[in-house]
Amino acid sequence: MFGSLDAVFALKGERVARDPLSEVLRVRIEGKCYYVKRYTGAGKNVLRRWLGRPRVRAEWENLMDFRAWGIPTATVVAYGLERRLGGFSRGAMITEEVPDTVDLAHLAKTDDARLRDRGWVAEVSCQVAAITRAMHDRNFVHNDLKWRNLLITNGPPRVYLIDCPSGEYWQGPFLRYRIIKDLACLDKVAKYRLSRTQRLRFYHQYTGHRHLTDSDKARIASILAFFKGRE
């Protein structure tokens, strides 16, 4: 079923997402659900067709890095890409469905009661902080670290990080800027759904600091200002 790109691009299923570069299908095979992400574009920059990693390759490599770092993520079961005349033509990545989960953005949108359970929020916050720190400690940033890309299991919460075609390694001031962007993406919804105390606790969990340093205060100010005028 996933033995070739021709077979993967011939698959029929429920379309769950689509953009100018890719589409995502949900397919059921022998009782298991899979997400099939099919790319016909290499990236938003047209030069990416010939230079650098195409988005599909970046996505499967990033998910594999997450697993190597101990970050829970969807299991990659197949991947591949095709080039013509040296340029990207098409590619695909297939992941197993993470069962019995919902994304955190959906909980916010539906005003789920779990977001008012302080113990539940504290556990999820701790896991998200650990995941974020595990990336940033390796000079890696997700670049789209939004609530929709965090899956939460029903029952005792376990957090899974998904969808990372834009994640990259950075250095110096570029890394610092991207870290602020990751943290600002998380806070974009948190500021409407969580208390200031819960948001500050998350930051302490992320840094491991019991008290805010001057650099922490400066970074928090940058996080709070990041999306001002752009919402």
3-state secondary structure of 129: helix
- Which one of 96, 124, 147 terminates a domain? 96
Share of the chain above pLDDT 90, in %: 81
Output the pLDDT for position 109. 96
Output the pLDDT for position 42. 65
Amino acid at 121: V
Which pairing describes strands 87-96 and 76-84: parallel, antiparallel, or unpaired?
antiparallel
Does 120 lie in the same domain as 89? no
Does 114 lie in the same domain as 41? no
For the whole prediction, is pTM greater than 0.85?
Answer: yes
* Average pLDDT estimate for 106-124: 97
Does 87 lie in the same domain as 119? no
Alpha helices in the chain, H assignment, sequence order = 5-10, 55-68, 104-109, 118-136, 172-193, 196-207, 214-225
Q: Which residue segment(s) compose the domain that 141 sits in? A: 101-225
Does 108 lie in the same domain as 218? yes
- Tokens encoding 170: 């950075």
Judged against a pLDDT cut of 80, whether residue 230 lies above it is answered with no
pLDDT tier, 198 (very low <50, low <70, confident <90, very high otherwise): very high
- What CATH number has the domain bearing residue 183? 1.10.510.10
- Which one of 96, 128, 159 terminates a domain? 96
Q: Residue 85 contacts by C-beta under 8 Å, 6 or more apart in sequence?
A: none
Beta bridge pairs of residue 79: 93
Judged against a pLDDT cut of 80, whether residue 191 lies above it is answered with yes
Does 203 lie in the same domain as 179? yes
Which pairing describes strands 101-103 and 76-84: parallel, antiparallel, or unpaired?
unpaired
Question: Is 230 contained in some domain?
Answer: no
Counting the structural domains of the chain, the total is: 2
| DSSP codes, 4-60 | SHHHHHH---EEEEE-SSEEEEEEEETTEEEEEEEES-S-SSGGGGTSS--HHHHHH
Does 112 lie in the same domain as 92? no
Output the pLDDT for position 118. 97
Judged against a pLDDT cut of 70, whether residue 136 lies above it is answered with yes
Question: Is 231 contained in some domain?
Answer: no
Q: Residue 131 contacts by C-beta under 8 Å, 6 or more apart in sequence?
A: 71, 72, 159, 161
- What CATH number has the domain bearing residue 29? 3.30.200.20
Does 141 lie in the same domain as 109? yes
